[in-house]
């Protein structure tokens, strides 16, 4: 049986994506070419990476996620800062941060609990809400990384809030031109 590479995520509002697209376009022109920037249409907030799963598992996951949507109302998330993983000495991922949210943390805990019922393991690392906007290329020169660091360190890439109204189960298809994401199921958060 053919498997599918999947993850659960929150889409960003079109206005936020538009702001990020403008910033990324400017970064591409102004900064050294040491970062592969994420295509704006692929930017999202990952809640859980599922890896390779079967179509039958996809159906089971969809069923487990529906009650979570019914229990939760839409909520806001606030953008806050940026950074890199794992650190500026060996940067791999450039991200935009989000403030701590008890509602989001509760949502993550419930998703993990429902997926454990299906035999899907819990993430070992604590959840760190972030939106990946770029991935560093291999073997960058230190001075190029320092330019990127000076440009981003302790600065806001984007500010404000975003409203979360649904979560999505995505399939990720990998191509030479980059990944393409297809939403398999949208789980709307139940309005109050």
Number of H helices, E strands in the chain: 4, 9
Tokens (6 digits) for 12: 């960003």
* Active site annotation includes 72: no
| Catalytic position from the list 38, 40, 43, 44 | 44
The dihedrals phi and psi of 189, each to the nearest 5 degrees, come to: -80, 135
Q: Please tell me the distance from the alpha carbon of residue 171 to that of residue 116, in angstroms, as a whole number.
A: 20
Q: Which residues pair with 132 in a beta bridge?
A: 95
Active-site residue, 44 included: yes
Tell me which residue of 47, 68, 64, 48 sits closest to 56, measured CA to CA: 64
Q: Token digits for 78?
A: 């606030």
Catalytic pick from 37, 48, 130, 162?
A: 130
Residue that is written with structure tokens 């419930």 in the block: 110
10-19 burial code (b ≥16 CB/10 A, e <16): bbbeeebbeb
Catalytic sites, residue numbers = 44, 130
């Amino acid at each position: 049986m053919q498997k599918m590479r999947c993850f659960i995520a929150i889409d960003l509002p079109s206005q936020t994506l538009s702001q990020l697209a403008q910033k990324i376009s400017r970064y591409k022109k102004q900064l050294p070419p040491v970062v592969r920037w994420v295509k704006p249409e692929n930017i999202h907030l990952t809640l859980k990476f599922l890896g390779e799963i079967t179509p039958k598992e996809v159906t089971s996951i969809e069923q487990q996620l529906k009650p979570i949507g019914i229990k939760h109302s839409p909520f806001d998330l606030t953008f806050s800062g940026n950074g890199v993983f794992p650190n500026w000495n060996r940067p791999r991922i450039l991200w935009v941060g989000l403030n701590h949210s008890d509602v989001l943390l509760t949502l993550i805990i419930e998703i993990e609990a429902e997926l454990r019922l299906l035999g899907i393991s819990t993430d070992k690392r604590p959840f760190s809400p972030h939106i990946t906007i770029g991935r560093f290329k291999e073997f960058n020169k230190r001075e190029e990384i320092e330019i990127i660091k000076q440009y981003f360190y302790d600065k806001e890439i984007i500010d404000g809030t975003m409203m979360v109204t649904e979560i999505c189960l995505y399939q990720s298809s990998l191509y030479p031109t980059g990944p393409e994401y297809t939403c398999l199921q949208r789980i709307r958060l139940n309005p109050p």
